[in-house]
């Protein structure tokens, strides 16, 4: 509870954005074992013998992009899984994990919905935890009382977003950038959509999307491949094959610039600017990853941090990122600054973006970023937790098994010409969406 | 909207000691240069009084280096609140040998990441880096311990950055605002009443010379601990530590005034009216910490008590208040036994629609009452202990976290060995001890309550952003 103040906010971006940070050097990456179960679930495994524990992460293509008519469906479906399964109550399910020291978690983002388990390796702990996970995964009951309760709780968190300038800005940013695309609506749903939601929606959503051919399972821990195979086979034995979710529609970029200022009585104005960025597997991925790193992705030393914070003291944090998703995720720039400074801050960002797109990074900026990316690779995969999350991203987005081993080579192939070319083609500073939430000048 | 960490006992505090339950790891060896504990922590003492701890972990070719100073928000006095944190920011602004930002650039070029953090009882600086580049970190960290160049121009910009940080973290977040006011109300004379980031008015009037004198007072090798964890050779680390830190002159460090909290004489209660949508409740009972308790068993009993109340989804608060009575939409409890001074056992939460924060308070008190009347069941206790035991294994997955624990314990003056004792001490806690500490400390006379009363979010009631001194260059 005692808040440690950090020099900069460590910005955590959804897992979808995570792999941008991956940059391997030769032989430092773990060897990934891959197989498919008889029903079509894709499994990624890395043995890790040092600590007597096991991490399992199951990801479904069942995020809020699949919500269709009622935003909030995906989040509620995922949230209800552990609220009653195989005839056991939420209380009993929680007790069964906690009695063996297992840590269970679940959640849902725009693209993916996930469940994760961390358990001790010893069968005495692992077996009961797996059995419990299996019930939650395969036999959720969606009890009515739990549905009503969790729906009420979700409504309160939707209400609480209205007191957060950041949440207001973020929801509006996605709504405006994505228009009619499924990425437009908030994963939490809205006050209106949650009124319409019923338990039947959840059950059908579950039936359609929580199926083997829509699943990616990542396992890291003190197991042999044979043990991992047996574990996953047992876990998913009763999960129907189903079918893979259809591809999401393509995203249309904004046709013209747009600025929206929401009047809000906060001390700071929250600014989010951006446009449609790129999807996983995009040909310009590596060029833009590098370009963004130097522009606003690396924190201190980045162009934006230098201009906005270091030179002018205008903001505590300023950032930019590409968040590649199934379809084109956003390119976003953001900061918060005292209300009376917001025009100046936006002007600086626009100026810098304009310059950056037309001139590209300086040779020294490019080299600094390359060194940071390549030299820092071992830090990205220095724990079982991180490796488990990377496996999920690789699996979910169908990235190649040698993705880690080849990433650094692909980054190193970049040069100033390629980066400049990609920036010119892919970022149009004249068509930026700008959201401001804060007190307008009186 | 919750401030209290859900994970409390489990993730935050468990000891790393051993994989086998019941295997005692007591470390009471004298700390001469080069001792190594059963849990693998190497301890060295430099001639100038700086302690060096090394925790090898060879799973990945990476290392973390942390330097912890015994100074933080609770060392400050009224009028200069926030000075520890402001100095932390300025520590990146150059030395006699490096330009502003150059240390950061060097780390970045070498693929590392770095940052710093300020707490009530400590200020710490860290780098995460490929283990073959560790020497660079030590070299430059030692440099800024004694050779910082505090510059007026840089300060004028950075203090504005810090005010922006305060607006982001506190002023525009109703729950954080409530916590700040709650804390200020709970403590009468203890420095724990002060916000770590500082009151805005103190930031407005802060001057470079406040930072210079703070730096001169506290930044010395004999007031610091170096912790290195990861893929390193302890004796190589010791050699580098001697080379870079060992040559620095120690200072005469005077312990901060005790400012021991007076005894509370009755419940304290405040409301915070701020633009918001959802009510929020904070409750805190004054409790001792490991550092200042007669019977240390009480502290571990309080830890288990926090686990019974909020150690996972099966614990009492979630079970009773979220799922059963459905009064709370969120609720939590937590406790930091490793604070330097007497602290608070905290509860927080938000009521469901149709219930008030006061009803939530009554419901929490009912849970407390029930623990005072009846000791927790064996199953509940076993679950808490199983989670602590498992967490002591899981935490080995994070080198950084292990270093954090060593740093915290060492810096508040408990000694890092307390980490190795944790699991065993938790295992010794009985249901009756849990009941006893609940009875002894959860009394209305020790309680402070703060309630956030949401006010309409009205754009006509805009905050004043006037700040003394205004802005430069505009």
CATH number for the domain spanning B211: value is 3.30.830.10
Whether A185 and B307 have beta carbons less than 8 Å apart is answered as no
Distance CA B178, CA B157 (A): 28
Any idea which residue has 């060194």 for tokens? A371
Distance CA B326, CA A124 (A): 34
Question: Predicted confidence band at A405 (pLDDT cuts at 50, 70, 90)?
Answer: confident
Q: Is the same domain home to B233 and B305? A: no
Distance CA B318, CA B326 (A): 9
Contacting residues for A69 by C-beta, under 8 A, at least 6 apart: none
B158 interaction partners in chain A (CB closer than 8 Å): 313
Beta strands per DSSP E along A329-432: 330-338
Q: Is the same domain home to B82 and B200? A: yes
Give B41→chain A minimum CA distance, Å: 17
Q: Is the same domain home to B122 and B213? A: yes
Q: What DSSP state is assigned to residue A356? A: H
Q: Do A163 and B85 touch (CB under 8 A)?
A: no
Residue B401 at interface with chain A, using a CB cutoff of 8 Å? no
B323 interaction partners in chain A (CB closer than 8 Å): 90-91, 149
Q: Is the same domain home to B175 and B317? A: no
Assigned domain for B161 exists? yes
Question: Predicted confidence band at A74 (pLDDT cuts at 50, 70, 90)?
Answer: very high
Distance CA A310, CA A315 (A): 9
Quick one: which of A308, A305, A309, A310 has its CA closest to A292? Answer: A305
Quick one: which of B411, B430, B396 has its CA closest to B15? Answer: B396
Q: Is the same domain home to B174 and B303? A: no
DSSP SS3 for A233: helix
Q: Is the same domain home to B240 and B345? A: no
Range(s) of the domain holding residue B319: 268-455
Contacting residues for A226 by C-beta, under 8 A, at least 6 apart: none
**Extents of the domains making up chain A:** 17-236, 258-386+397-438
Please tell me the least confidently modeled range out of A374-378, B154-158, B211-215, B280-284.
A374-378
CA distances from A223 to A50, A55, A228, B304, B391 (A): 11, 10, 6, 32, 19
Domain boundary among B228, B244, B260: B244
Give B12→chain A minimum CA distance, Å: 11
User: Within the 152-211 window of chain B, which residues sit less than 8 Å (CB to CB) from chain A?
Assistant: 156-165, 167-169, 171-174, 176, 179, 196-197
Distance CA A287, CA A290 (A): 5
Q: What DSSP state is assigned to residue A86? A: T
CA dihedral for B360, B366, B372, B378, sign (positive or negative) = negative
The number of C-beta contacts closer than 8 angstroms across A and B is 257
Q: Do A8 and B115 touch (CB under 8 A)?
A: yes
CATH of A258-386+397-438, one of 3.40.50.720, 3.30.830.10, 3.20.20.100, 3.60.9.10: 3.30.830.10
Angle between helices A285-292 and A403-412 (to 10 degrees): 70
Q: What DSSP state is assigned to residue B167? A: I
Total domains in the fold of chain B? 2
Question: Predicted confidence band at A29 (pLDDT cuts at 50, 70, 90)?
Answer: confident
pLDDT in tens, A159-210: 999 999 999 999 999 999 999 999 999 999 999 999 999 999 999 999 999 9
The torsion region of residue A48 among left (phi > 0), alpha (psi -120 to 50) and beta comes to beta
* Active-site choice (B76, B88, B158, B180): B88
Whether A269 and A434 have beta carbons less than 8 Å apart is answered as no
Of B108, B174, B461, the CB nearest to A372: B108
pLDDT in tens, B210-237: 999 999 999 999 999 999 999 999 999 9
Distance CA A93, CA A106 (A): 14
Position B26 pLDDT exceeds 80: no
User: Within the 128-147 window of chain B, which residues sit less than 8 Å (CB to CB) from chain A?
Assistant: 128-130, 133
Mean pLDDT of B104-129: 97
Q: Do A371 and B109 touch (CB under 8 A)?
A: yes
Q: What DSSP state is assigned to residue B78? A: T
Position A211 pLDDT exceeds 50: yes
Q: Do B110 and A375 touch (CB under 8 A)?
A: yes
Confirm whether A17-236 and A258-386+397-438 share one CATH topology: yes
Q: Taking the CA of residue A89 as centre, how many other CA atoms within 13 Å lie in the half-sphere pointing to its CB? A: 10
What are the structure tokens assigned to A215, written together? 């699943």
Give B47→chain A minimum CA distance, Å: 31
Assigned domain for B432 exists? yes
Assigned domain for B404 exists? yes
Q: Taking the CA of residue B220 as centre, how many other CA atoms within 13 Å lie in the half-sphere pointing to its CB? A: 16
Mean pLDDT of B156-167: 98
B88 is annotated as an active-site residue: yes
ipTM value for the complex: 0.93
Whether A115 and A235 have beta carbons less than 8 Å apart is answered as no
Q: Is the same domain home to B196 and B298? A: no
Distance CA B116, CA B67 (A): 9
Position B24 pLDDT exceeds 70: no
Assigned domain for B130 exists? yes
Whether B115 and B128 have beta carbons less than 8 Å apart is answered as no
Q: Do B117 and A7 touch (CB under 8 A)?
A: yes
Distance CA B308, CA B319 (A): 11
> Helix %, strand %, coil % for chain B, to 5?
45, 20, 40
Q: Is the same domain home to B49 and B152? A: yes
pTM of the model: 0.93
B321 interaction partners in chain A (CB closer than 8 Å): none
Of A163, A268, A375, the CB nearest to B277: A163
Q: Do B353 and A152 touch (CB under 8 A)?
A: yes
Q: Is the same domain home to B240 and B275? A: no
In a mutational test of the A interface, the residue from B125, B159, B465, B468 whose CB has the highest number of chain A CBs within 10 Å is B465
pLDDT at A7: 63
A102 interaction partners in chain B (CB closer than 8 Å): 390
Assigned domain for B468 exists? no
Q: Is the same domain home to B153 and B72? A: yes
pLDDT in tens, A129-156: 999 999 999 999 999 999 999 999 999 9
Assigned domain for B261 exists? no
A2 interaction partners in chain B (CB closer than 8 Å): 119-120, 196, 336, 339
pLDDT in tens, B36-79: 988 899 999 999 999 999 999 999 999 999 999 999 999 999 99
pLDDT in tens, B373-423: 999 999 999 999 999 999 999 999 999 999 999 999 999 999 999 999 999
Q: Taking the CA of residue A411 as centre, how many other CA atoms within 13 Å lie in the half-sphere pointing to its CB? A: 29
Distance CA A34, CA A44 (A): 5
Mean pLDDT of B68-97: 98
Whether A93 and A100 have beta carbons less than 8 Å apart is answered as no
DSSP SS3 for B454: strand
DSSP SS3 for B305: helix
The superfamily CATH assigns to domain A17-236 is Metalloenzyme, LuxS/M16 peptidase-like (3.30.830.10)
Please measure the distance between the N-terminal and C-terminal CA atoms of chain B and give it in whole angstroms: 37
What are the structure tokens assigned to A185, written together? 């609506």
Give B14→chain A minimum CA distance, Å: 12
Sheet holding A318-322, edge to edge: A258-263, A433-438, A268-276, A330-338, A318-322
Q: Is the same domain home to B231 and B303? A: no
- How many residues would you count in chain B? 474
Assigned domain for B469 exists? no
pLDDT at B221: 98
DSSP SS3 for B451: strand
Residue B352 at interface with chain A, using a CB cutoff of 8 Å? yes
């Amino acid at each position: 509870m005692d808040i440690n103040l950090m020099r900069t906010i460590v910005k955590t971006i959804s897992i979808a954005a995570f792999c941008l940070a991956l940059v391997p050097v030769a032989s430092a990456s773990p060897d990934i074992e891959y197989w498919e179960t008889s029903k079509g679930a894709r499994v990624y495994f890395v043995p890790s013998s040092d600590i007597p524990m096991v991490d399992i992460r199951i990801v479904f293509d069942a995020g809020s992009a699949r919500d269709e008519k009622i935003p909030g469906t995906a989040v509620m479906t995922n949230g209800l899984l552990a609220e009653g399964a195989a005839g056991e109550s939420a209380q009993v399910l929680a007790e069964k994990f906690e009695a063996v020291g297992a840590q269970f978690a679940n959640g849902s983002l725009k693209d993916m919905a996930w469940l994760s388990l961390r358990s001790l390796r010893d069968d005495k702990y692992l077996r009961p935890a797996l059995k419990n996970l299996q019930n939650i995964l395969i036999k959720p009951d969606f009890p009515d009382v739990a549905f009503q309760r969790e729906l009420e709780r979700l409504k309160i968190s939707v209400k609480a977003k209205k007191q957060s300038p950041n949440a207001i800005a973020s929801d509006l940013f996605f709504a405006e950038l994505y228009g009619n695309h499924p990425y437009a609506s908030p994963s939490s749903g809205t006050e209106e959509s949650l009124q319409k939601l019923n338990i039947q929606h959840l059950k059908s959503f579950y039936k359609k999307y929580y199926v083997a051919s829509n699943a990616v399972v990542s396992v890291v821990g003190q197991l042999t491949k044979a043990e991992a195979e047996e574990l996953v086979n047992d876990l998913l034995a009763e999960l129907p094959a189903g079918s893979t979710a259809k591809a999401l529609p393509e995203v249309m970029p904004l046709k013209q610039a747009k600025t929206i200022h929401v009047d809000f009585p906060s001390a700071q104005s929250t600014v989010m600017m951006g446009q449609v960025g790129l999807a996983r597997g995009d040909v310009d991925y590596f060029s833009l990853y590098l370009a963004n790193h130097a522009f606003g992705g690396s924190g201190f030393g980045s162009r934006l941090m230098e201009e906005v914070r270091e030179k002018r003291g205008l903001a505590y944090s300023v950032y930019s990122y590409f968040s590649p998703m199934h379809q084109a995720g956003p390119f976003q720039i953001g900061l918060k600054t005292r209300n009376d400074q917001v025009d100046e801050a936006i002007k600086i960002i626009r100026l810098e973006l304009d310059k950056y797109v037309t001139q590209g990074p300086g040779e020294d900026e490019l080299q600094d970023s390359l060194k940071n990316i390549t030299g820092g690779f071992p830090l990205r995969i220095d724990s079982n937790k991180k490796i488990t999350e990377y496996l999920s991203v690789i699996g979910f987005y169908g990235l190649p098994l040698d993705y880690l081993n080849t990433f650094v080579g692909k980054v190193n192939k970049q040069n100033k010409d390629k980066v400049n070319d990609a920036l010119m083609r892919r970022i149009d500073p004249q068509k930026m969406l700008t959201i401001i939430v804060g007190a307008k000048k009186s | 909207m919750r401030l209290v960490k859900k994970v409390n006992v489990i993730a935050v505090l468990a000891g790393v000691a051993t994989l086998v339950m019941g295997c005692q790891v007591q470390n009471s060896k004298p700390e001469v240069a080069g001792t190594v504990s059963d849990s693998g922590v190497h301890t060295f003492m430099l001639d100038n009084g700086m302690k060096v701890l090394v925790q090898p972990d060879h799973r990945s070719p990476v290392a973390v280096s942390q330097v912890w100073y015994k100074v933080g928000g609770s060392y400050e006095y009224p009028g200069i609140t926030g000075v520890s944190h402001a100095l932390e920011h300025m520590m990146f602004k150059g030395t006699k040998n490096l330009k502003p930002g150059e240390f950061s650039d060097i780390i970045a070029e070498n693929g590392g990441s770095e940052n710093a953090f300020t707490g009530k009882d400590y200020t710490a600086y860290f780098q995460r880096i490929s283990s073959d580049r560790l020497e660079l970190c030590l070299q430059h960290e030692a440099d800024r311990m004694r050779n910082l160049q505090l510059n007026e121009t840089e300060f004028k910009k950075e203090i504005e950055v810090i005010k922006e940080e305060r607006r982001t973290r506190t002023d525009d977040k109703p729950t954080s605002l409530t916590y700040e006011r709650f804390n200020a109300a709970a403590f009468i004379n203890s420095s724990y009443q002060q916000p770590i980031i500082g009151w805005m008015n103190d930031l407005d009037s802060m001057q470079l010379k406040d930072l210079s004198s703070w730096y001169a007072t506290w930044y010395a090798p004999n007031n610091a601990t170096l912790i290195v964890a990861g893929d390193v050779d302890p004796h190589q680390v010791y050699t580098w530590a001697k080379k870079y830190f060992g040559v620095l002159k120690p200072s005469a460090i005077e312990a901060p005034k005790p400012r021991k909290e007076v005894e509370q004489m009755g419940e304290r209660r405040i409301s915070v009216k701020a633009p918001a949508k959802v009510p929020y409740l904070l409750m805190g009972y004054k409790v001792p910490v490991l550092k200042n308790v007669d019977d240390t068993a009480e502290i571990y009993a309080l830890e288990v008590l926090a686990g019974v109340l909020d150690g996972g989804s099966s614990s009492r608060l979630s079970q009773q208040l979220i799922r059963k009575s459905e009064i709370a939409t969120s609720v939590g409890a937590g406790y930091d036994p490793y604070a330097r001074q007497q602290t608070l056992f905290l509860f927080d939460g938000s009521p469901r629609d149709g219930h008030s924060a006061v009803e939530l308070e009554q419901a929490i008190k009912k849970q407390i009452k029930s623990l005072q009347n009846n000791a927790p069941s064996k199953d509940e206790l076993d679950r808490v202990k199983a989670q602590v035991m498992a967490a002591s294994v899981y935490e080995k997955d994070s080198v950084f976290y292990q270093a954090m624990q060593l740093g915290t314990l060492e810096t508040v003056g408990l000694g890092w060995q307390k980490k190795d004792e944790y699991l065993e001490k938790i295992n010794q806690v009985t249901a009756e001890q849990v009941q006893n500490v609940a009875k002894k400390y959860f009394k209305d006379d020790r309680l402070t309550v703060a309630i956030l009363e949401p006010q309409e979010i009205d754009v006509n009631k805009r905050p004043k952003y006037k700040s003394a001194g205004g802005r430069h260059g505009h």
